[in-house]
Amino acid sequence: MPMAGYLIKIVGTCCFRPLRLDIDAGVCERSVDEDPLAWTRDFDRHAAGEFSMAVVQANSIIEDACQIESGRHGTFVGIYDGHGGPDASRYVRDNLFQNFRRVTEEEEGMSADVLRKAFSDTEEGFLSIVKKMWTTMPHLATVGSCCLAGVIYGGMIHVANLGDSRAILGRFDRDVRAVVPVQLTAEHNACRESIREELRLLHPDDPNIVILKRDVWRVKGIIQVSRSIGDAYLKRAEFNQEPILPKFWLTESFTKPILSSEPSIITHKISPEDQFLIFASDGLWEHLSNHEAVDIVQRYPRSGIARRLIKFALQEAARKREMRCSDLKMIARGIRRHFHDDISVIVLFIDHSLASQSSYSGPILSLKGGKQADC
């Protein structure tokens, strides 16, 4: 398909390519306790165990996208939290795993470098579309996405992250005799002092690299995350000018990228104490702590557990606004964003006998999420 035709497919429709298993194709339950803006997929197997998946929309057009892919490359999970529009998160959903699979085959194995190269190729692919469509669709230069990806293969967990989504490992602690959370990712968000210091060190000649604006720290006073896919207007000066909207223009020029697309990567050897993984966009973590999320997964049945995590998050969002959760669920998309963000959650349970294998001969699973409510 020509590049322009592919892009129109991304931005001009809310339903996507048919898949063997696809949340957009109606194979999952329609609601989270009858929430008209929520979808779930329960309960199924991946190459290293079982999984549960759920999504709830808040924006007028959902900006979250997510996926789980399982086959001979192990289990691949992605959570993509878009901002400025859905284009970047949908592009990542449709291309990151394909890049990962190709690089894995080229390198004949899995490593942190494989993930890093897959991220880099995905970034370059999206920026090439921005450049190609610059005169006809300049808004693409101001669209970006956080990107959280995890791979379980050969007894190892590899997690790569850009932005402020989060991956949590639920591990049994023998000392306290309970499952406790182990956070595998650190948020690239200017609200964290370590990120502000990192940005100041990278841009020593720019006293305005981070600005406190309405009690929120932002990079250049514009955006909270410091790493992403996309956001070309803060990475290449050629895109920080007309015809993008003036609110995105910087008053001073720049010669090196302000935001980074270099992921933080952690590799963890699976131990007998490791029970499950929670991958979720920041919409979940705004309302649940790591301990609360792990406790919920531990205490309730596995089937429907991603849906239950979203339910608890919505209950907390409603409590903060002194309203009933049932009333919150009746609020229309768009307006709903004033109460909570789009939320995507995937919970992977670890079967140690499967997770340690370096080959997989079971059924292939390809499941993608991220669609508009009225498709």
Question: Is the omega angle on the peptide bond into residue 246 within 30 degrees of 0, that is, cis?
Answer: no
Residue 121: the pLDDT is 98
Residue holding tokens 């900006």? 63
pLDDT in tens, 301-340: 999 999 999 999 999 999 999 999 999 999 999 999 999 9
pLDDT in tens, 170-227: 999 999 999 999 999 999 999 999 999 999 999 999 999 999 999 999 999 999 999 9
User: Interior CA angle at 283 toward 279 and 289, to 5°?
Assistant: 70
pLDDT in tens, 81-91: 999 999 999 99
Give me the architecture of the 3-185+264-369 domain, per CATH: 4-Layer Sandwich (3.60)
**Contact present, 319 and 24 (Cβ < 8 Å):** no
Q: Where along the chain do its domains lie? A: 3-185+264-369
> SS3 for the chain, per residue?
CCHHHHHHHHHCCCCCCCCCCCHHHCCCECCCCCCCCEEEEEEEEECCEEEEEEEECCCCCCCEEEEEEEECCEEEEEEEEEECCCHHHHHHHHHHHHHHHHHHHHHCCCCHHHHHHHHHHHHHHHHHHHHHCCCCCHHHHHCEECEEEEEEECCEEEEEEECCCEEEEEEEECCCCEEEEEECCCCCECCCHHHHHHHHHHCCCCCCCEEEECCEEEECCCECECECEECHHHCCHHHCCCCCCHHHCCCCCCCCCCCECCCEEEEEECCCCEEEEEEECHHHHCCCCHHHHHHHHHHCCCCCHHHHHHHHHHHHHHHHCCCCHHHHCCCCCCHHHHCCCCEEEEEEEECHHHHCCCCCCCCCEEEEECCCCCC
Question: Is pLDDT of 282 > 70?
Answer: yes
Question: Is pLDDT of 11 > 70?
Answer: no
The residue length of the chain stands at: 375
Distance from the first to the final alpha carbon of the chain: 23
Question: Is pLDDT of 20 > 90?
Answer: no
Say how far residue 256 (Cα) sits from the centre of its chain: 26
The backbone torsions φ and ψ at residue 327, rounded to the nearest 5 degrees and listed phi first, read -75, -40
Question: Is pLDDT of 28 > 70?
Answer: no
Residue 43: the pLDDT is 77
Residue 32: the pLDDT is 53
Residue 19: pLDDT band (50, 70, 90) is very low
Closest by Cα among 73, 86, 88, 58 to 233:
88
Closest by Cα among 146, 24, 127, 130 to 82:
146
Residue 252: the pLDDT is 87
Residue 18: the pLDDT is 28
Q: Which two three-digit tokens encode residue 335?
A: 């307006």
Mean pLDDT of the chain: 89
pTM above 0.95, yes or no: no
The backbone torsions φ and ψ at residue 363, rounded to the nearest 5 degrees and listed phi first, read -65, 145
Contacts for 169 with CB less than 8 Å, ≥ 6 apart: 157, 181, 182, 183, 184, 268, 274, 276, 277
